[in-house]
Amino acid sequence: MNLNKDLNLKTRFLITSEKSENAISNRIVGSAYQAEGQDHMTIHLRILPGITFFLAKNWSGFPEYIIFSGRARKEDGGYRFFHRVGSGYKASNEKVIELSFPDIGQHFYIQLVPADYHYDNGVPTKFGEVA
């Protein structure tokens, strides 16, 4: 019997303050999570606790990624993102996405090497959203 059949596998990526691909030598400032089968990431920064951001691919061009502060479920099961707060860029030869938050004047870096994996336990988080 598979106890995890209804739980989503999530991959965790470290967010650092420096661009270097060696996350161990950098200051870790948060984490990004990507659920199995999803095309976006959920971002949690230590300097802004309790606030969730969403990194989604920009299918219409530049910048490569857009950071949003809001997400709503659509009728077809997908997501609609809103409240653009930043952008992200990835060089073709790097395993890092540079995040730019212009309102707070900060740049952070998602290290695209998975830190670990875990299953979504379905426990509600703040505002009733399941993590």
Query: Which are the contacts of 15, defined by CB distance < 8 A and separation ≥ 6?
Result: 28, 29, 30, 31, 32, 43, 45, 99, 108, 109, 110, 111
Could you report the per-residue pLDDT of 88-126, keeping only the tens digit for each? 999 777 889 999 999 999 999 999 888 888 766 554 444
Per the domain annotation, does 127 fall within a domain?
A: no
By residue range, what is the domain housing residue 54? 10-119
Per the domain annotation, does 39 fall within a domain?
A: yes
Could you report the per-residue pLDDT of 40-68, keeping only the tens digit for each? 999 999 999 999 999 999 988 888 999 99
Beta-strand pair 28-35/9-16: antiparallel
Could you report the per-residue pLDDT of 4-43, keeping only the tens digit for each? 444 578 899 999 998 875 656 678 999 999 988 888 999 9
For the chain, the domain total comes to 1
Per the domain annotation, does 5 fall within a domain?
A: no
Pairwise CA distance, residues 93 & 25, whole Å: 21
Per the domain annotation, does 32 fall within a domain?
A: yes
